[in-house]
Amino acid sequence: MPGTERQAVPAERTAVDLSTFDNGWYEPGRSLAVRLAWMAANRAFLQTWFPWPNSLKARLLRAFGARVGRGVVLKNRVNVKYPWNLEIGDRSWIGEGVWIDSLAKVRIGADACLSQNVMIETGNHDWSVPSFDLMLGEVDIEDGAWAAVGSLLLPGSKLRSHAVLGAGSTLSGDTETYGVYAGVPARKVKDRRIRQGRSE
């Protein structure tokens, strides 16, 4: 069968050996019973297409340790790994299909927007060692920031106050306040300017 035989590795190289992977040092922060209860609640109330009220979903997140502000919008099919590692500020929007992989802390400020299918990753792997070790990094999305549709924030990313991450872009690292970033990897392309009043 394909993949059952190991290919030869050049003498000057070292092969990955996933049988040596060990994340036993990682502490999820809650008991197995709580994690299982969250998996069921997450599936039933957040990941579903059913339009449960935002207030109900916010209360559920708070019950499992998340800090959720007032007026938060939580669309359908949102997936949260560990709510006890999540903070969401007042009036922020979490769009359809958003995936918050909160193995480490994820902080989302007030009036921030995560559009459809945004992914926030706090876990990565050290590809420079045979055991492919787990590495963690917190993610911060500050007040008024916008992660546009299909964008990806990698561990350690900081989307600063009122910064924009363009559609389909990948952020790894820090940004400037009011900066607009696009591409893979994301680079600053201009400054964000917010006009007074509504769009015409």
Domains of the chain: 44-191 (2.160.10.10)
Amino acid at site 38: W
Instruction: Tell me if 153 sits within 8 A of 119, measured CB to CB.
Output: yes
The rounded distance, in Å, linking the Cα atoms of 82 and 103 is 6
Q: Which residues are registered as beta bridge partners of 68? A: 88
Nearest to 118 by CA among 186, 174, 178, 52: 186
3-state secondary structure of 114: strand
Q: Is the pLDDT of residue 10 over 80?
A: no
Q: Over the stretch 56-88, which tens digit does the pLDDT of each residue have? A: 999 999 999 999 999 999 999 999 999 999 999
Instruction: Tell me if 117 sits within 8 A of 96, measured CB to CB.
Output: yes
The rounded distance, in Å, linking the Cα atoms of 159 and 165 is 8
pLDDT score recorded for residue 9: 63
Instruction: Tell me if 158 sits within 8 A of 179, measured CB to CB.
Output: no
Q: Is the pLDDT of residue 98 over 90?
A: yes
Q: Is the pLDDT of residue 11 over 70?
A: no
Q: Is the pLDDT of residue 92 over 80?
A: yes
Region of poorest pLDDT, from 5-14, 27-36, 84-93, 153-162: 5-14
Q: Over the stretch 114-155, which tens digit does the pLDDT of each residue have? A: 999 999 999 999 999 999 999 999 999 999 999 999 999 999
The rounded distance, in Å, linking the Cα atoms of 47 and 58 is 14
Cα–Cα distance list, 113 to 72, 93, 106, 132, 144 (Å): 10, 5, 14, 33, 7
Which is it for strands 179-182 and 187-191: parallel, antiparallel or unpaired? antiparallel
pLDDT score recorded for residue 6: 65
Share of the chain above pLDDT 70, in %: 93
State the chain's mean pLDDT as an integer. Answer: 94
**How many residues does the structure list for the chain?**
200
Share of the chain above pLDDT 90, in %: 90
